[in-house]
Structure 1
Amino acid sequence: MTITATAVPTSEESDGTVKYARIGSLELEAGGFLPDVVLAYETWGQLNADASNAVLIEHALTGSTHVARGATEEEGWWEQLVGPGATIDTTRYFVVSINIVGGCYGSTGPSSEAPDGKPWGSRFPLITLRDSTEAEARLADALGIEAWHAVLGGSMGGARALEWAVTFPGRVKRCAVISVGAYSTAEQIAFAQAQTLAIRQDPNFNNGDYYGGAAPEDGLALARRIAHITYRSALELDYRFGREPQHQETPLAAAVLAERGRYQVESYLDHQGNKLVRRFDANSYVAITEALMSHDVTRGRGSLEDALSRTTAEFFIAAVDSDRLYFPAQSRELAAGLPGDVPVHVIEAPIGHDGFLTEIGQLSAQLRLAFFS
């Protein structure tokens, strides 16, 4: 199989810009097949002569590959952690971030052209996190990376990092798993199902074949509202919004239900839903959400201890203390199942699950000491 990838960048001007690699066909865990897969990715820094300084950073559910600033000044989502002189110092390390298969930021996904020239739409196959790991391994091959100095991620990105360490133990020297456990729980699957159903029940969804017509924007926005509630803590929502009305709107002054005004928290959720609609594809949201549902490092590998015994990486496990989507207990369970004595680091943040993004700087010193000194 011939895999083609954009050449490893040779100047700083190439940092933080999207590149593409064709990795060939992909037979999928659930039985599906993709004949010609493209992966979009970004890189920062330079790969050294023996390719020992490569770091893979995995994005979360609706995240992009833009981890940090580069050729443009567009802010990245882990600026606190990545960049010149930062914990993951891009003057020392070659950082790679890859858009997951099924996504809508350049990798092959439901909106991509199928072999017949039409968007995949409803025909896009079911993918799992193991499928995404297999695809990423091929890109690593094309870039000349036999083993990662470290693989890191938060939330779904953490699940992807963990899958890398279990599926390809010889290719991951260090692994940071932040704000996620060893598998998706029944409750997490339940929240995910409510989101995908919100999209599927939108009148414009058309079983996923809406390209060229009206997109299921209402369903996607509702899915984001449901998700965002799980990303933030009750304490944070109460502190920011309480029971306050939105500006001059009157939640308790309306002759009929349809005319009542909104509370501030409702306006906030509306804003979050509308923001996602402007940048994300509804089919990709379904595809990636169901990939996250599949997250289970024990599938076909025995007990948790059996599955994790395959790993050879050094691990860094962390949780957000106020997380009500991926509870800290799940991080502790994961750490307990790993070989050796693995501590669980804690991000102290009232915000909830999204603390893995907004407060990642709290882990800078610990991560530098553990992986990047």
Structure 2
Amino acid sequence: MSAGVMLAPFSIAYQTYGQLNADKSNAILLCHALTGDQHVANAHPVTGKPGWWCALVGPGKPFDTEKYFIICSNVLGGCMGTTGPASLNPATGKAYGLTLPVVTIADMARAQAMLVERLGIETLFCVAGGSMGGMQALQWAALFPEKVFSAMIIASAARHSAQNIAFHEVGRQAVMADPNWRAGRYIEEGVRPAKGLAVARMAAHVTYLSEEALQRKFGRKLQDRAEKTFSFDADFQVENYLRYQGSTFVDRFDANSYLYVTRACDYFDLAQDYGGSLARAFKHSPTRFCVVSFNSDWLYTTAESRVIVHALNAVAASVSFVEIETDKGHDSFLLDEPDFVATTRGFLAGAARARGLGS
């Protein structure tokens, strides 16, 4: 691992959709975002809700399960079956808690590479992801260029900004300030830092939306009342919405995992691993890239996407870039945005022709 220690054994939970073709050339790895998981296009086993990318994954959709073999795994440090802080440490019989080594984006990619190898796949047709998933896709292209035919980097960045580190630290402190966190040993003590994790989710969720989207959806509308109550109840609809987001999140996510995945994002700085030059990470890369940003995304801005594009241009890599106009903010990549859907479909179709996958 990047921390200089060994983690063995470890488990990795994954889902697949579609069929692997005879020469194993149609495999796509989808990398999930911060609090996502492997359930990209099936009902979630905990919440019962549809998969997080049903808008783009399925028969006839851009990530067409009738053409491609789709793989999605829970990241290392996660909490949906892959080894994470809530997993049992075989050496102690107790949950790892904070004794699990700190996980990096590179660790996530290396674990995924082991899975892909175990599946008997030498080269992935595409590695794609948004947000933290985009970081993983970038890391894949840098670590395993000969194994990645194409890559989609969506609403992401080559390093975490100071602002984003700051937002993550607010969330981590909310978790750790909960009395039930118990220095990360809450599982063995039979409690859960649910309130702290809910607040962390509330704060983070604001960053996934745009001011325009919040104003359009909620404005200053009151929640189930005609007048303000002059109390600290959720008078406004936006308050009620955030409280709901926080309360439902704690049912499906582990608090320590939240610490680990946010830290992985914070540590991500791909250029630093290549002597301070992002372009050097992609020197002689044979991968075809598509970089996508959204103009209302203030978490991972278009400017940060352009940094990636400029680095790829500097080494004459094959790259296309699209900025999608929408007022839905960072979470636009999870939604059925027509221009984004068309971009994804077009890029994959072109890459499929170059790969010789046919129609």
How far has the Cα of 1:308 moved from its partner?
A: 2.5
Residue number in structure 1 paired with 2:356: none
Residue number in structure 1 paired with 2:65: 90
Which of residues 164, 167, 179 in structure 1 aligns to 2:143?
A: 167
Matched, 1:319 2:296: no
Matched, 1:208 2:184: yes
Amino acid across the alignment from 1:324: W
Distance in 2 (CA, whole Å) between partners of 1:221 and 1:74 is: 19
Where do residues 193-204 of structure 1 align in structure 2 (5 Å cutoff)?
193-204=169-180
Which of residues 331, 335, 356 in structure 1 aligns to 2:309?
A: 335
Task: Point out where structure 1 has 5 or more consecutive residues left out of the alignment.
Answer: 1-27
How far has the Cα of 1:32 moved from its partner?
A: 3.2
How far has the Cα of 1:223 moved from its partner?
A: 0.5
2:135–2:158 Cα contact (<8 Å) kept: yes
2:229–2:235 Cα contact (<8 Å) kept: no
2:234–2:240 Cα contact (<8 Å) kept: no
How far has the Cα of 1:86 moved from its partner?
A: 1.8
TM-score (norm 1): 0.87
1:56–1:150 Cα contact (<8 Å) kept: yes
Which of residues 63, 70, 88 in structure 1 aligns to 2:36?
A: 63
Amino acid across the alignment from 1:105: M
- SS of match in other structure, 2:94: coil
More displaced, 132-141 or 358-367? 358-367
Which of residues 222, 237, 240 in structure 2 aligns to 1:264?
A: 237
Q: Do the aligned partners of residues 251 and 286 (structure 1) sit closer, same or farther apart at CA in structure 2, a change above 3 Å counting?
A: farther
Matched, 1:231 2:208: yes
- SS of match in other structure, 2:129: strand
Amino acid across the alignment from 1:270: R
Q: Do the aligned partners of residues 348 and 120 (structure 1) sit closer, same or farther apart at CA in structure 2, a change above 3 Å counting?
A: same
Distance in 2 (CA, whole Å) between partners of 1:220 and 1:41 is: 25
Which of residues 241, 246, 251 in structure 2 aligns to 1:273?
A: 246
Q: Do the aligned partners of residues 70 and 281 (structure 1) sit closer, same or farther apart at CA in structure 2, a change above 3 Å counting?
A: closer
Distance in 1 (CA, whole Å) between partners of 2:116 and 2:208 is: 31
How far has the Cα of 1:71 moved from its partner?
A: 12
Amino acid across the alignment from 2:309: A
Q: Do the aligned partners of residues 261 and 193 (structure 1) sit closer, same or farther apart at CA in structure 2, a change above 3 Å counting?
A: closer
- SS of match in other structure, 2:127: strand
Which of residues 139, 160, 163 in structure 1 aligns to 2:115?
A: 139
Matched, 1:358 2:331: no
Return the structure number with greater helix share. Answer: 2
Distance in 2 (CA, whole Å) between partners of 1:362 and 1:75 is: 22
How far has the Cα of 1:304 moved from its partner?
A: 1.4
1:347–1:356 Cα contact (<8 Å) kept: no
Distance in 2 (CA, whole Å) between partners of 1:136 and 1:112 is: 18
Q: Do the aligned partners of residues 332 and 359 (structure 1) sit closer, same or farther apart at CA in structure 2, a change above 3 Å counting?
A: farther
2:333–2:340 Cα contact (<8 Å) kept: no
Distance in 1 (CA, whole Å) between partners of 2:14 and 2:284 is: 28
Distance in 2 (CA, whole Å) between partners of 1:223 and 1:97 is: 26
Q: Do the aligned partners of residues 131 and 194 (structure 1) sit closer, same or farther apart at CA in structure 2, a change above 3 Å counting?
A: same
Where do residues 10-159 of structure 1 align in structure 2 (5 Å cutoff)?
28-69=1-42, 75-115=50-90, 116-159=92-135
1:118-144 alpha-carbon deviations (Å, 9 max, x no partner): 111121110100011111111111000
1:244–1:263 Cα contact (<8 Å) kept: yes
Aligned residue pairs: how many?
342
- SS of match in other structure, 1:34: coil
1:318–1:344 Cα contact (<8 Å) kept: yes
How far has the Cα of 1:220 moved from its partner?
A: 0.3
Amino acid across the alignment from 1:181: A
More displaced, 292-301 or 269-278? 292-301
How far has the Cα of 1:185 moved from its partner?
A: 0.9
Distance in 2 (CA, whole Å) between partners of 1:67 and 1:313 is: 24
- SS of match in other structure, 2:296: coil
RMSD between aligned residues: 2.0
Distance in 2 (CA, whole Å) between partners of 1:354 and 1:277 is: 20
1:347–1:355 Cα contact (<8 Å) kept: no
Distance in 2 (CA, whole Å) between partners of 1:110 and 1:200 is: 15
Q: Do the aligned partners of residues 105 and 306 (structure 1) sit closer, same or farther apart at CA in structure 2, a change above 3 Å counting?
A: same
Identity of aligned residues (%): 42
Residue number in structure 2 paired with 1:222: 199
Distance in 2 (CA, whole Å) between partners of 1:132 and 1:71 is: 22
2:55–2:334 Cα contact (<8 Å) kept: no
Q: Do the aligned partners of residues 94 and 70 (structure 1) sit closer, same or farther apart at CA in structure 2, a change above 3 Å counting?
A: farther
2:56–2:336 Cα contact (<8 Å) kept: no
1:119-175 alpha-carbon deviations (Å, 9 max, x no partner): 111211101000111111111110001110000000111111110001111110100
